Amino acid sequence: MARRLSHLGEPSPTIIEDVYARKIFNSRGEPTIEVDVIAAEGFGRASAPSGKSRGAHEAVPFPEGGVDAAVAKVEEVIAPEIIGLDAAQQSVIDDLLREVDGTENFSNIGGNTAYAVSLAVANAAASARALPLYQHLGGVACSELPYPLGNVLGGGKHAGGGAPDIQEFLVIPVGASSVSEALEAIFAVHRAVRGVIESRDPSFTGGRGDEGAWAPNASNEEALDVVYKACDQVSREMGFEVRMGLDVAASSLWNPKRQRYVYVRDGVERSTEEQLSYMLSLVEEYELAYLEDPFEEEDFESFAELTKSVKSCLVCGDDLFTTNVNRLRMGVKKGACNAIIIKINQVGTLSQAIEAVRMAKKHGLAPVVSHRSGETPDPSIAHVCVGLGCPIIKTGVVGGERVAKLNELLRIEDVLGDYARMAHLNL
């Protein structure tokens, strides 16, 4: 346990002097929690996002009683414990949050509560040190910038009836030489996708899902063709390669009683073997660079079979791992994936997410820092991604809460100047 240093003479600039919590609203208009941490010479703020498609092994988002109860927990339980501690001692404070909660899945204080406190502490420490968060986390020499991965067409739980079964049709500008170029490309693909949809369906009214992706009345095959055509068009216009990716969110398709993946929109059911064959055919036909959650969240073996069968494609686990090092350890042992989604509020604290990133890198998995479908304008994950040296950031493409992260990457790139370089992608 860290000592409270206020009685030792001149206080450290990173000593926590006060903590506040409030209820705000995310991009879906749902309540969530925001936390302010005031240090002796710094200030940090963070707000928690919320996922709609959540893995079974994630931390519980909020305690019983919801956001109001979470705010009360911060003010009545957490604040008295961390006031007087050093915000620079991130792991100590994060361990204290776990100790105060006392459960394996943050069901007492809530994973979103832990997230907001943990990130606000990190931001306060960075502010007190007069450093941007990415340098506070990664050192003043960190200069590697991630490629943006964003969904331009949506289905599944992120869209309404008639939309594709596959949850996210993604694009990643793998040939971009800067963040600025990369963002121009993904915005161009987003616009091009609408144009292709309208050329095929004049009745399309411009409907969009939770993350700003277009949500047409289309089959999975039609949606794949639309995005592939838009990527090809923009690649030729920009002069570098923009490739497709998918987040299948297969756990939401899996029917455990029937032991089948049920594609309601397409009227198709697939066994596990047929799902594997289907995924392999999509990787080949559409030259996928990225494939997330192609199987349900307990099927490590099918993930492994797919991973060893594809080239130049990242097979990424989200619901499979839930940013949990124990789940990741199982996946590494089985060779399940070559990439992992990092969502801090899946495990609750920044320290636990950092541990997952380090383990992933040690075993050759690409860490992909990700937003959630219900987001806030908080740009912290852009800094986390750069500070931890993660090669991809999954943010969505449009919507103020998504663009806030992307614009923050532009600011970081501007500050780094000639030192900035794009991450290496093994594709």
Coil, strand or helix: which one is 391?
coil
Token representation of residue 394: 């999954």
Angstrom distance (rounded) from CA 100 to CA 97: 5
Angstrom distance (rounded) from CA 108 to CA 402: 30
User: Per the residue annotation, which of 52, 73, 343, 394 is the catalytic one?
Assistant: 343
User: Per the residue annotation, which of 34, 58, 168, 211 is the catalytic one?
Assistant: 211
In this structure, what DSSP letter does residue 75 have?
Answer: I
Angstrom distance (rounded) from CA 369 to CA 361: 13
Angstrom distance (rounded) from CA 53 to CA 295: 14
Token representation of residue 308: 């060893």
Sheet containing strand 268-270, strands side by side = 254-255, 260-263, 268-270
Per the DSSP assignment, residues forming a β-bridge with 290 are 245, 314
Per the DSSP assignment, residues forming a β-bridge with 422 are 145
Angstrom distance (rounded) from CA 226 to CA 362: 37
Are the CB atoms for 284 and 274 separated by under 8 Å? Answer: no
Q: Is 257 a catalytic residue?
A: no
Q: Is 305 a catalytic residue?
A: no
Token representation of residue 402: 């998504």
Are the CB atoms for 41 and 13 separated by under 8 Å? Answer: yes
Coil, strand or helix: which one is 384?
helix
Catalytic residue positions? Answer: 211, 343
